[in-house]
Amino acid sequence: MVHISISFQLVLGLLLMLATAVQAQTKASVPAPLTGRQQSIATVSALTAQGDLPRLQKALHEGLEAGLTVNEAKEVLVHLYAYCGFPRSLQGLNTLMKVLDERKAQGLNVVVGKTASPISSTEPKYERGMKNLETLTGKAETGPKTGVYAFSPEIDVFLREHLFADIFDRDVLTYQEREIATISALVSLGGVEPMLQSHILNGMHVGLTEAQVQQIIALNEVAVGKKDADAGRAVLKKALGTKQK
């Protein structure tokens, strides 16, 4: 009887260990969704690109409640000027100021958050921008310029020195968070499929999963409509095909 009891306990223990391992494996295989804070970045970006200020106002309130600091929300709106222009960015910042005034009047809490760290590098901005771009894409920036960058060397300099050095060197947001904002804004803008495809690939290179990109597009569908979201899904499908080659 003692041997039977010990054998039964051993088998039971092994079954429990197996069940735990299977459960852990199942959980690990399910891609993590965007956090509430990340979802707010996507929604705020989509509405900023559209210029839908009343809904942006609500989204900013919700973003601050979801964990965005004031400086992070501000950084998202500043970041977006590089993708949807100063007018949209400035309108977004004005809307954030209004939200902060409302929250102060209502006695609602806000967290200011950290500011960008000073840039200590003495490396030329063009070189810094090149390195940041390589981090985003996973590809070496070598060889002669082609296409639009050969046609307009000025835009190549502006992109690397300003966008990828001045802006991406600001550590208020991570590269992944900046790509969430960029992907969402480009889906919302529409008609910029090559740029959207590049940023989807960049986002996945810095850690976004396919499921998370799908979620960004789904948030756009709620924010700006099915037409733009479906166009974004088509670009994602194309990007995934490129990634698998």
Evaluate whether residue 26 is within a structural domain: no
Range of the domain at 92: 36-111+171-244
Evaluate whether residue 9 is within a structural domain: no
How many Å apart are CA 198 and CA 175, to the nearest integer?
A: 14
Shared-domain flag, residues 58 and 157: no
What are 101's two structure tokens? 């005034």
Tens digit of pLDDT per residue, the chain (245 long)?
Answer: 545 455 556 555 555 655 555 454 434 456 689 999 999 999 999 999 999 999 999 999 999 999 999 999 999 999 999 999 999 999 999 999 999 999 999 999 899 999 999 999 999 999 999 999 999 999 998 888 899 999 999 999 999 999 999 999 999 999 999 999 999 999 999 999 999 999 999 999 999 999 999 999 999 999 999 999 999 999 999 999 987 66
Tens of pLDDT, residue by residue over 164-207, are: 999 999 999 999 999 999 999 999 999 999 999 999 999 999 99
Shared-domain flag, residues 187 and 68: yes
Give me the pLDDT at residue 70, please. Answer: 98
Give me the pLDDT at residue 40, please. Answer: 98
Evaluate whether residue 12 is within a structural domain: no
Domain count, the chain: 2
Shared-domain flag, residues 57 and 166: no
Evaluate whether residue 59 is within a structural domain: yes
Evaluate whether residue 81 is within a structural domain: yes
Domain-terminating residue out of 170, 187, 210: 170
Q: Phi-psi bin for 138: left (phi > 0), alpha (psi -120 to 50), beta?
A: left
Shared-domain flag, residues 129 and 186: no
Evaluate whether residue 21 is within a structural domain: no
Query: 0.75 exceeded by the pTM?
Result: yes
Evaluate whether residue 92 is within a structural domain: yes
Give the H or E element holding residue 174. none
Evaluate whether residue 10 is within a structural domain: no
State the burial class of residue 107 (Cβ atoms within 10 Å of its Cβ: 0-12, 13-18, 19+). exposed
Shared-domain flag, residues 50 and 106: yes
Shared-domain flag, residues 163 and 104: no
Shared-domain flag, residues 153 and 238: no
Shared-domain flag, residues 130 and 211: no
What are 207's two structure tokens? 């850690």
Give me the pLDDT at residue 100, please. Answer: 98
Give me the pLDDT at residue 143, please. Answer: 80
